[in-house]
């Protein structure tokens, strides 16, 4: 017996997929599953095995649809499997819908929170503009006050100096008379 890899030609793709699926369900590779199936069939009553004739010549037409139907019939699950599968799908659908409802509620909550934050930011922006205008007004008033003070100092500075000089002279004169 050779340990070299081998392939079987002429297997219907649908039959190959069915075999792969059955192997996957049993937690095996396709090769392991085929070995198991062949060995199990070989261990059973060998007298009941009827060898099949050779495949008809490739030139003969084969009705693929009827062969596919035979494969579907051979591997179609019974009603119990369909009921379990249907119940499982229904359960998944319920969980999915529940999850979708929770997600929708969460998204609506987030949307409302974001809208509230946006309203607050807009309010702060309006208040900031109002405060900015008020600060600009105060700054203008301060500038005007400084301008007026400089003007006052400029106008009254020399006169004040003259007046203070006169006051000093008078005080000095009074002081010299007293002493």
Domain residue extents for the chain = 13-38+83-176
Q: What is the dihedral of CA 7, 8, 13, 18, to 10 degrees?
A: -90
71 pLDDT band (50/70/90 cuts)? low
Give the global pTM: 0.32
120 pLDDT band (50/70/90 cuts)? very high
Check residue 148 and give its pLDDT. 92
Question: Where is pLDDT greater, at 94 or 7?
Answer: 94
- 16 and 67 in contact (C-beta within 8 Å)? no
User: What three-state secondary structure class fits 153?
Assistant: helix
Tokens describing residue 126? 């309006």
Residues 95-115 have a mean pLDDT of 92
Asked whether the predicted pLDDT for residue 101 surpasses 60, the reply is yes
Question: Where is pLDDT greater, at 160 or 52?
Answer: 160
60 pLDDT band (50/70/90 cuts)? very low
Asked whether the predicted pLDDT for residue 31 surpasses 70, the reply is yes
Summary mean pLDDT of the chain: 79
Asked whether the predicted pLDDT for residue 177 surpasses 80, the reply is yes
Q: Which residues contact 15 (CB under 8 A, 6 or more apart)?
A: 71
Asked whether the predicted pLDDT for residue 59 surpasses 70, the reply is no
In angstroms, rounded to a whole number, what is the distance separating the alpha carbons of residues 144 and 113? 46
Check residue 5 and report its DSSP letter.
-
Pick from 94, 100, 69: nearest CA to 86: 94
Q: Which residues contact 68 (CB under 8 A, 6 or more apart)?
A: 12, 14
Distances (CA, A) of 64 to 15, 24, 58: 12, 25, 13
CA atoms within 13 Å, Cβ hemisphere of 108: 6
Q: In 10 A of CB 160, how many CB atoms?
A: 11
Asked whether the predicted pLDDT for residue 164 surpasses 80, the reply is yes
């Amino acid at each position: 017996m050779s340990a070299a890899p081998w392939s079987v030609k002429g297997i219907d793709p649908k039959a190959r997929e069915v075999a792969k699926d059955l192997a996957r369900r049993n937690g095996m590779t396709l090769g392991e599953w085929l070995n198991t199936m062949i060995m199990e069939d070989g261990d059973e009553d060998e007298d009941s095995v009827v060898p099949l004739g050779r495949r008809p010549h490739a030139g003969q037409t084969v009705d693929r649809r009827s062969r596919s139907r035979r494969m579907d019939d051979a591997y179609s699950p019974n009603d119990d499997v369909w009921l379990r599968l249907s119940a499982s799908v229904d359960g998944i659908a319920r969980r999915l819908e529940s999850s979708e409802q929770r997600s929708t509620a969460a998204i609506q909550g987030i949307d409302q929170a974001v809208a509230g934050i946006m309203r607050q930011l807009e309010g702060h922006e309006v208040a900031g503009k109002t405060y900015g205008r008020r600060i600009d007004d105060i700054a203008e008033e301060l500038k005007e006050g400084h301008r007026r003070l400089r003007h006052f100092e400029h106008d009254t500075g020399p006169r004040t100096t003259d007046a203070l000089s006169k006051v000093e002279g008078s005080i000095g004169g009074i002081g010299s008379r007293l002493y």
